[in-house]
Amino acid sequence: MIRTFNGKTPKIHETAFISEAAYVVGDVEIGENSSVWPGTVIRGDHAPIVIGQNTQIEDNCMVHTGTPMFIGDNVHIGHNVVVHCQKIGNTVLIGNHATISEYAEVGDFCVVAAGALVTPGMKIPDRTFVVGVPAKVKGEVSEDRIAITKQSVDIYVKMSKAYKEQGL
């Protein structure tokens, strides 16, 4: 469901896939070949949310913010993730059930482990792997892990095209 709020209607690229069971409202922009899966809510009612190209937001996620939010290109956000931050860079994997709190920033080529809690205001440098509650730096993201993230993104771009072609 796509809704206007306070005169702001989501801008969704024609190649993006938005599940009919998702809810996108307000000042939201979704880029080329990105996808939003069932049960996900994206609320641009307090501030703008910009989502780049080839980015997937899987089932049952909550994306909301009180300040402008930017989610980069080639980002894979797993199931049941809460995104309430200012920035997620490019080619990032956010594991299932993670929480990215307000004012946090995630750099490029990062991995946030499943279940991790990125605390308010945390700044995660490029190519960093974080894990835990609260999230702590575990190490550097390898080239192999970056390649796996890119493969995951490619799989979801293809799958979202199939969903669109089948009218889902």
Give me the CATH number covering residue 95.
2.160.10.10
What is the spatial distance between Cα 124 and Cα 121, in angstroms, rounded to a whole number? Answer: 10
Q: What is the pTM of this model?
A: 0.97
pLDDT of residue 114: 99
pLDDT of residue 44: 98
pLDDT of residue 84: 98
Residue 89 tokens read as 């860079």
pLDDT of residue 65: 93
Residue 96 tokens read as 């299932």
8 A C-beta contact, residue 61 and residue 40: yes
pLDDT of residue 54: 99
CB atoms under 10 Å from CB of 1, counted, come to: 11
Helix (H) or strand (E) holding 2: strand 2-3
pLDDT of residue 70: 99
Range of the domain at 91: 2-165
Per the structure, how many domains does the chain have? 1
Give 2: exposed, middle or buried? Use CB within 10 Å, 0-12, 13-18, 19+. Answer: middle
Question: Which amino acid, 149?
Answer: T
Per-residue pLDDT of the chain (168 residues; tens, 9 = 90+): 999 999 999 999 999 999 999 999 999 999 999 999 999 999 999 999 999 999 999 999 999 999 999 999 999 999 999 999 999 999 999 999 999 999 999 999 999 999 999 999 999 999 999 999 999 999 999 999 999 999 999 999 999 999 999 998
3-class DSSP state of 133: coil
